[in-house]
């Protein structure tokens, strides 16, 4: 038969465990917690700083230095917008960029895949797998998104991405 001291000891342990549980489980529950931040486990980069979200953006390039900009653009604004310019820069390297149809329409509240028509084609010696290049996306409403974008090889998972030489 348990003694009163054993029951008291068990009660103290149960109460202490119950009191510690919320304290220990709340370690990552503040507003800056990593578990509350958007995270996309992918090769591309994201930018959500304006009304235009650029998601999983990267360049698929072949061995001759031609590439295609892929990723998704989501127009979070209430009005239509357009991607009217793309600039890619890398130190001491010239990279030519062309947007099929000269612009990409971005309907309000919709997602547009850059790998689909209209596509953004690039060419230049700096487009080698493993490199990062600076990409600026210019929009008709005046917003510009600039970020470092990785270049990946046109094989494996990305073998089906059509890579075409720029037409301009």
For 18-43, how does the pLDDT look when each residue is reduced to its tens digit (9 = 90+)? 777 666 666 556 666 666 666 667 78
φ, ψ for residue 16, nearest 5 deg: -65, -40
DSSP state of 35: G
Residue ranges making up the domain that contains 22: 4-35
Kindly give, in sequence order, each residue whose CB lies less than 8 Å from that of residue 156, ignoring residues fewer than 6 positions away.
Answer: none
Per-residue confidence (pLDDT) for residue 101, from 0 to 100: 82
Name the helix (H) or strand (E) containing 8. helix 4-25
> Which phi-psi region, left, alpha or beta, contains residue 129 (left: φ > 0; alpha: ψ -120 to 50)?
beta
27 and 52 in a single domain? The answer is: no
Q: How many domains does the chain have?
A: 2
- Does 116 lie in the same domain as 86? yes
Question: Of all residues in the chain, what percent carry a pLDDT higher than 70?
Answer: 82
Q: Are residues 94 and 130 in the same domain?
A: yes
For residue range 8-19, list pLDDT tens digits in order: 888 887 887 777
């Amino acid at each position: 038969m348990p003694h009163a001291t054993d029951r008291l000891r068990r009660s103290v342990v149960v109460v202490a465990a119950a009191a510690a549980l919320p304290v220990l489980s709340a370690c990552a529950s503040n507003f800056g917690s990593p578990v509350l931040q958007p995270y996309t486990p992918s090769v591309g980069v994201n930018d959500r700083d304006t009304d235009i979200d650029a998601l999983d953006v990267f360049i698929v390039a072949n061995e001759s230095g031609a590439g295609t900009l892929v990723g998704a653009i989501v127009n979070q604004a209430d009005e239509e917008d357009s991607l009217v310019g793309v600039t890619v820069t890398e130190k001491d390297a010239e990279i030519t960029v062309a947007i099929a149809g000269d612009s990409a329409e971005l309907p309000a509240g919709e997602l547009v895949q850059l790998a689909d028509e209209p596509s953004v084609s690039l060419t230049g010696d700096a487009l080698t797998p493993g490199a990062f290049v600076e990409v600026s996306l210019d929009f008709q409403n005046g917003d510009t998104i600039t970020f470092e974008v990785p270049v990946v090889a046109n094989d494996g998972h990305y073998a089906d991405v059509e890579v075409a030489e720029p037409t301009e």
